[in-house]
Chain A
Amino acid sequence: MKILVCISKAPDTTAKIAFKDNNTAFDENNVQFIVNPYDEWYALVRALELKETLGGTVTTISVGEVDMDAIIRKAFAIGADDGVRIDAPATDAYFVAEQIATFAKQGAYDLILTGKETIDYNGSSVGGMIAEMLNLPFVSLATKLDLSGTTATLECDIDGGTEVLECNLPLVISAAKGMAEARIPNMRGIMAARTKALQVIAATTADKLTEIKSYTLAPGRTTCKMIDAENAASLIDMLHNEAKVI
């Protein structure tokens, strides 16, 4: 079983978000980055569980610059066997998918896993693009993944219930909450992470199809208006005329 897990970084959920250069760039100053939780907790851990029962290897792939290496080493500490970093800033989903697909083509992976989305840009698009570029099936937002021979059985949450799917390998999957339970690395893993191979390769030329023009912060929480419980008419009036929601 050869598994490729796409790992990206994301600002820590408690980071203070600010922009610079006239609101055209994210200000990374004093921002702590973490492994994108969906990649780490679900995609990577499920890949490791499958490897532990079926044998094989788990390789991580990331598109990013040198500050990505600490993120990749954490994936190693949790248990990935080796990793690849495509040395380029990850600014556009198509560009990223193209890099990963180009690498994956040579590897004959049975499974390619991504997290359901990154918690910063929430694009949810890289997995689907990789599948398309490699001409493989894609299952998004899977909450369960089991393998039997070359058949994968997957579960996905759908409106009001669960969907069970079967699909042949090779396959691209985006992992959602429920697929696995987060693991805390242990000291053996942290020590082993020092010596695992992290291959850095140059990016291939690929188009960038999107460009971010500017950012604005979501408006902060506004103050709360209290209305007397007896005064339903005033509530309705405000919802209608001020909030314009009814």
Chain B
Amino acid sequence: MATKTDVFQHPDYYLMDELLTDEHKLIRDTARAWVKKEVSPVVEEACQKAEFPKQWIKGLASIGAFGPYIPEQYGGAGLDQISYGIIMQELERGDSGLRSTASVQSSLVMYPIYTFGTEAQKMKYLPKLASGEWMGCFGLTEPDHGSNPGGMITHIKDKGDYYELNGAKMWISNAPFADIAVVWAKDESGAIRGMVVERGWEGFTTPETHGKWSLRASATGELVFDNVKVPKENIFPEIKGLKGPLSCLNSARYGIAWGAIGAAMDCYDSALRYSKERVQFGKPIAGFQLTQKKLAEMVTEITKAQLFTWRLGVLKNENRATPAQISMAKRNNVNMALTIAREARQIHGGMGITGEYPIMRHMMNLESVITYEGTHDIHLLITGMDITGIAAFE
């Protein structure tokens, strides 16, 4: 298993570093240094054993990966959206499962509490989530409602001084160890409402999903609600309808667009290094045209994604990034990363299937990333709807 020193260097073909501030670069170097020191040496084994290394939580909190853009008064770091993206890129360069844990905590748990929560909810939950003392998860998907979350059947009933919650969520990242869950359920009028459910409440269980071939270093599970009593102060008061969960997904998808670049860069960096060292027919395989085609296309696609996503970050900072623009970047970048992982795997030959190199792990991880937070096809249909004005997925 990989115990080699992590010598990763990012490609910067179009000098994108010049578009970043000194603080962005410091944040990137910090996240990268932490990944090299704490993640790379153990990630292969964690994946082989399908275990989330709990010791990562403290480190993630200290590098600001939990709620980077949440204001400081609630324990966040008060950073801009490009900083958030860069942190996600560096984490996913290490492992998509690691990035998923941070994405969920930041965009799917802290973001809705910050955006839709009452002051009391914010004060109660955000500082502890930022410090990693509490971990959260996000329950939207159900066994029978994935791409179509609006059809959900999990629901709440008003019982006077509390709501009674019933139903089940599936495929929930961080569920097995989360202290709290942001849950979306329908009220009696059929409107989707959000709420914070705490571990330990009667009737709330989180069985773990086993046997994944992907995101093995991230824990996935179900959320089962059997007559759970949710205090009224735990409901998000105003937000109703799908736009609640969708705005969270928007923030997470934006982070994934950056994250995927990280995974792609790691595959490219490894393939470039390997192809210069591996000699066949008397010369490094990097000297063969077919290998060069693969490498040249990889760096071209990474460069395009870097610039495209940086621009999206600028728009996001200005509050102008549309959900459809974010869909386009998520779809493009994850697909780009998956294609690069597959090509990089070929360059590594037989070595590419082992844990000696990160390639196969990235490749398998990206199969989840291309499915969750809106599948590859659904994002295409969002672009289609945006440009034609006609929804093709309903």
Interface positions of A (Cβ within 8 A of B): 14, 30, 32, 69-70, 73-74, 77, 184-187, 190-191, 193-194
Contacts and interface: CB of A to CB of B under 8 A. Distances in A.
Contacts of A14: 9
A20 B79 CA distance: 39
B357 interface: no
Interface stretch (B18-26, B137-145, B297-305, B377-385): B18-26
Given A184-B33, A187-B27, 14 more contacts: A30-B15, A70-B25, A70-B26, A73-B26, A74-B26, A74-B29, A184-B34, A186-B62, A186-B64, A187-B30, A187-B62, A187-B64, A187-B79, A190-B26
Contact of A190 (B17, B33, B64, B72): B64
Contacts of B212: none
A166 B17 CA distance: 47
Contacts of B77: 187, 190-191
Interface in B5-47: 9, 15, 17, 22-23, 25-27, 29-30, 33-34, 37
Dominant secondary structure at the A interface: helix
Interface string B72-84: 1000011100000
A153 B22 CA distance: 38
A70 B26 CA distance: 8
Given A184-B33, A184-B34, A194 B62 contact: no
B30 to A, nearest CB: 5
Q: How big is chain B's contact interface, by range?
A: 20 to 34
B68 interface: yes
Contacts of B30: 77, 184-187, 190
A77 B15 CA distance: 25
Contacts of A187: 27, 30, 62-64, 68, 77, 79
Contacts of B79: 187, 191
Nearest to B17: A32
B72 A184 contact: no
A77 B30 CA distance: 10
A234 B9 CA distance: 43
Nearest to A30: B15
Contact of B22 (A73, A185, A186, A191): A73
What 6 A-B pairs come out closest when comparing CB atoms?
Answer: A187-B64, A70-B22, A186-B62, A187-B77, A184-B33, A185-B30
